Amino acid sequence: MFMEREFQTAEELATALRAGEVTSVELTDEAIARIERDDKVINAICVPDFDRARAAAHRADQARARGEDRPLLGIPVTVKESYNIARLPTTWGMPQYRNYVPPEDAVQVSRLKAAGAVVLGKTNVPLGLQDIQSFNEIYGTTNNPWDHGRTAGGSSGGSAAALACGFGALSIGTDIASSLRTPAHFCGVYAHKPTLGLAANRGMVPPTAPALPSDLDLAVVGPMARTARDLTLLLDVMAGPDPLTLGVAYDVTLPPARHERLRDFRVLVLDEHPLIPTGSAVRAGVNRVAAALVDGGARVERHSRLLPDLTEAATLYTQLLISSTPARFPIESHEQLRNRVAGLRADDQSLDAARLRAMVFSHGEWMETNNRRELHRHGWRQLFAEFDAVVCPITPTPAFPHDHHPNLMERRIDIDGVEYPYLDQLVWAGLATMPGLPATAIPAGRSPEGLPVGVQLIGPMFEDRTPLRLAELLEQKIGGFQAPK
């Protein structure tokens, strides 16, 4: 029974718990045993909290015995290290905050607990959440469960690796640069980047920063799981405004999915980007999904005049993402950056140049960029009047080998034998992030080397149930999560 439950979904575990076939204490003990047995080589769980998990499981069993039934009652889960959890360290992998312990839970941790979840511990992240990998001086490197010489992704890499290894049925992560979607793609699991503003993020803050109910540009918190239906289950727990601000007056009611049957969906499929090539393994995954859509009767197109310009979208995303960083630079570095920007050629429109220029943006320049973003949002609204979802890559390649070079600007990503700037692979991440659209990452097969390959399903703003339903239908059509060998 131990192995039979190892990779069961949250939905299946909830059914077994309601039927009295298993207790939360048993599930929690089994999950802890798996972590203690297997995590030495993966290093996904950086802050275990097993004593409190066992106590929470015991309380969950008592609550069920009293007749209570909450969405996640008794189900073991994990939480990304960057979320505040009272009495556990929140470091973001930064050595100077090694001993920082926040006073209270993040709002999403509170929602997990209110829904009855049993928190097993925290999952690993990169230094300051600033990488597409998950390694730091405090907790070390998280390895990909499919190939320990490769990254599990970042910055929610520990959560994706934990799910792939059966360390809990669900996890929560964050996404500003595909930090939910890329680890899911690299590890063969599911993730959902919600519409910007759909899920409150208070308490997902850098160490020592006050946990204020402020809205963050581009950044979201979201669910990770081993099935599409479990993503929906967890999103329903996470969704909703902060009770200190908009939650005073508003409740969230997401509209239903636009369609229930695959043959009713209208889908735009993209596998090429003007700024970076798509590797053959990822292209094959996109095409596999496209073929499944066609076979299921969906209307599939490869081009649309309504698609916002991909080059401008990538540039806007880069500018909005990077322009928030100068506040953390000392004034000497700021002056050095200005000198470097002054040395750029006027005709240099590369993403590296966009990153550098964005670091010294004025407020007026940021406002101009934001206005252009609003035009892109309007363009997406027009596109989603004719399509229900967009299928496209998450990154150009499957998981790549660990690369700990300290300067991200000097790293390179190998795409079918040709090297490209490391950060340019984020162009697909920004396609959904820049306008704030929901995007669901799903498994889409394996590379010739046996590595997981995923794609993302981008949907209309605040219609998160539409890409989630499409993910569920595709899971039925092409299969979903498979455990690492």
Residue 119: burial class (beta carbons within 10 Å; 0-12, 13-18, 19+)? buried
* Cα gap 151→352, rounded to integer Å: 23
End-to-end Cα distance, the chain: 19
Of the candidates 477, 408, 406, 404, the one whose C-alpha atom is nearest the C-alpha of residue 443 is: 477
Residue ranges with strand state E in 270-344: 299-301
All residues at 6 or more sequence positions from 92 whose CB lies less than 8 Å from its CB, including other chains: 81, 82, 125, 127, 128, 129, 206, 207
Q: Is the dihedral of CA 137, 220, 8, 12 positive or negative?
A: positive
The tokens of 167 are what? Answer: 């360390």
For the sheet with 45-48, list strands across it.
45-48, 118-123, 76-80, 170-175, 220-225, 190-193, 439-446, 452-458, 389-393, 266-269, 299-301
From the list 24, 82, 134, 155, the catalytic residue is 155
Q: What's the rounded Cα separation, in Å, for the pair 142 and 102?
A: 24
- Alpha-carbon distance of 440 to 97, in angstroms, equals 33
* Contact between residue 383 and residue 306 where contact means Cβ atoms under 8 Å apart: yes
Distance in angstroms (rounded) separating the CA atoms of residues 230 and 12: 10
Strand partners, 119: 77
179 is catalytic: yes
Beta carbons within 10 angstroms of residue 277's beta carbon: 16
- Reduced to 3 states, what is the DSSP secondary structure of residue 221? strand
Maximum separation of any 2 CA atoms in the chain, in Å? 70
Collect all residues with Cβ–Cβ distance below 8 Å to 14 and sequence separation of at least 6. Answer: 71, 72, 73, 74, 75
CA atoms of 446 and 470, how far apart (whole Å): 20
155 given a catalytic annotation: yes
Q: Which of 82, 110, 178, 179 is catalytic?
A: 179
Selecting among 24, 80, 110, 122, the annotated active-site residue is 80
Residue at token pair 């039925």 = 476
Sign of CA dihedral 230, 77, 205, 43: negative
What is the CA angle 179-184-188, rounded to 5? 165
Q: Report phi then psi at 176, rounded to 5.
A: -130, -30
Active site residues: 80, 155, 179
